Amino acid sequence: MVALVGVGERGRAILEALLDIPAIEVRYYVDTDPSAPGVALARERGVRCRADGRFDELRDDGDVELILETTGSPETLEALAASEHSHARLLDSAGVRILAHLLMARQETTARLEQQLRDGERRIAELSAAVDRAPVEMARYLRQASHQIKTPLSAIETYVNVILGGYTGEIPERTREIIEKIHSRCEAALRSLAKRRMLADLRCAGRDGLEMSTVHLNELAGQAVDLHAALAGERGVDIRLLAHEGADLVRCDPPKMVVLLSELVENAVVYSRADGMVEVSVVAVADGHLEVRVRDQGIGIPERCLPRIFDDDYRADPAVQHHQDGAGLGLAIAREVADLHQFDLTVESEEGRGSVFTLSVPPAPAA
């Protein structure tokens, strides 16, 4: 417990520094000048005042351990020394000057550390904002880049079509084969670009890009199946839809849901073997959710590859051997759409035996 005699300039600075130290309590100050610089601060912080210049209260208070004489006046020091303080030690103005230096140095260090802490916090906030923005910035960049690549690629495809259409005259058989390869590569690249652009658009728009409505899940699953019926026919894959008999209303962005389901159905067809079967079923499960299950009996996915199949640009080795033209983006799109809706998308697969992708959707709230 400390008492302060004099709250002039130096006294005020010492008072301020001491009040900053939680372990120290300043109980009294003595100053006869009501306009002394530290008076307001002392009052504000509840330090008791003796404005009559008397020291008896300090002397009688057994808790006061130290009295700081800050005025430098020999008379005050004498009066203090003359009064009998049972416990308190008296620090004269020379001691107080040194104490003041130490306290100021401490205050400066504290202020510097606080500033560094604030700078650090600001930097962390800036960095985390940049980290949050990074995927969207990246998506924007990819959207722009894919647009720039699309234009020349489409032009090449058009020229190739002109040549293949015979508009530039007869082409030797060997040249035709090469040009057909160019054509099919162009088409694959354009398909891949379209998917990359779609993924970028989804990431740029985020949840704000969803246009929600209440629709029948059976119908969405049916649309996804219809989109790939021709492909299934070409590949000799039997595709069927098992619709749910009961209530099937869900809240979602319907075109985006069709994109999601369509990616699953396309993969099921593409990674099936000829004579394989793809079954798309809508079922109600115990917790009231509806599930769309896309099941195939195709090449399956090796267990070690399963954790990565929803990543951008990832293709498992058996898939690359089975079908060269994949873009490695379909499941990233499906996952993005599912995440935006907060729907669960899971996979179970056995290499060589087939896969089941399951999308879990809550039923639409009652109107």
Task: Phi first, then psi: give them for residue 276, nearest 5 degrees.
Answer: -80, 175
**In the complex, what is the shortest distance from the CB of residue 271 to ligand ADP, in angstroms, rounded to a whole number?**
3
- CA separation for the pair 306, 301 (Å, rounded): 7
**In the complex, what is the shortest distance from the CB of residue 327 to ligand ADP, in angstroms, rounded to a whole number?**
4
- Residue 224 touching ligand ADP (CB under 6 A): no
Helices (H), the chain: 9-19, 39-44, 56-60, 74-82, 93-164, 173-205, 217-227, 229-234, 254-270, 317-322, 330-341
Among 37, 254, 328, 363, binds ligand ADP (CB under 6 A): 328
- Residue 301 touching ligand ADP (CB under 6 A): yes
Per CB under 6 A, contacts with ligand ADP among 260-289 are 263, 267-268, 271
CA 173 remoteness from chain centre: 55
Q: Are strands 2-5 and 26-30 parallel, antiparallel or unpaired?
A: parallel
Q: Kindly indicate which of the ranges 15-23, 143-151, 233-241, 312-320 contains the residues binding ligand ADP, using the contact rule CB under 6 A.
A: 312-320
- CA separation for the pair 84, 82 (Å, rounded): 6
Between 69 and 336, whose beta carbon lies closer to ligand ADP? 336
Tell the burial category of 171 from Cβ atoms under 10 Å away from its Cβ (0-12, 13-18, 19+). Answer: middle
Residue pointed to by tokens 């492909």: 231
Between 258 and 316, whose beta carbon lies closer to ligand ADP? 316
Which one, of 87, 7, 12, lies nearest residue 49 by Cα? 7
- Residue 329 touching ligand ADP (CB under 6 A): yes
Q: Kindly indicate which of the ranges 110-118, 154-162, 212-220, 308-316 contains the residues binding ligand ADP, using the contact rule CB under 6 A.
A: 308-316
Between 198 and 268, whose beta carbon lies closer to ligand ADP? 268
List beta partners, residue 3: 28, 67
Between 57 and 344, whose beta carbon lies closer to ligand ADP? 344
Between 106 and 308, whose beta carbon lies closer to ligand ADP? 308
DSSP 363: B
**Identity of the residue numbered 318:** P
Q: Are strands 290-296 and 354-361 parallel, antiparallel or unpaired?
A: antiparallel
Between 280 and 301, whose beta carbon lies closer to ligand ADP? 301
Which one, of 71, 86, 58, 84, lies nearest residue 7 by Cα? 71
- CA separation for the pair 160, 168 (Å, rounded): 10
Between 11 and 326, whose beta carbon lies closer to ligand ADP? 326
DSSP 364: P
Q: Kindly indicate which of the ranges 24-32, 53-61, 199-207, 292-300 contains the residues binding ligand ADP, using the contact rule CB under 6 A.
A: 292-300
- Residue 331 touching ligand ADP (CB under 6 A): yes
Between 10 and 196, whose beta carbon lies closer to ligand ADP? 196
Between 6 and 330, whose beta carbon lies closer to ligand ADP? 330
**In the complex, what is the shortest distance from the CB of residue 293 to ligand ADP, in angstroms, rounded to a whole number?**
12
- Residue 302 touching ligand ADP (CB under 6 A): no
**Identity of the residue numbered 18:** L
Among 319, 337, 338, 359, binds ligand ADP (CB under 6 A): 319
**Residue 36 · residue 7 · CB < 8 Å:** yes
- Residue 332 touching ligand ADP (CB under 6 A): yes
Q: Are strands 277-284 and 290-296 parallel, antiparallel or unpaired?
A: antiparallel
CA 221 remoteness from chain centre: 32
**In the complex, what is the shortest distance from the CB of residue 316 to ligand ADP, in angstroms, rounded to a whole number?**
3
Which one, of 252, 301, 279, lies nearest residue 358 by Cα? 279
- Residue 237 touching ligand ADP (CB under 6 A): no
**In the complex, what is the shortest distance from the CB of residue 136 to ligand ADP, in angstroms, rounded to a whole number?**
21
- Residue 202 touching ligand ADP (CB under 6 A): no
- Residue 292 touching ligand ADP (CB under 6 A): no
Q: Which positions lie near ligand ADP, rule CB under 6 A?
A: 263, 267-268, 271, 296, 298-301, 309, 314-316, 319, 326-332, 355
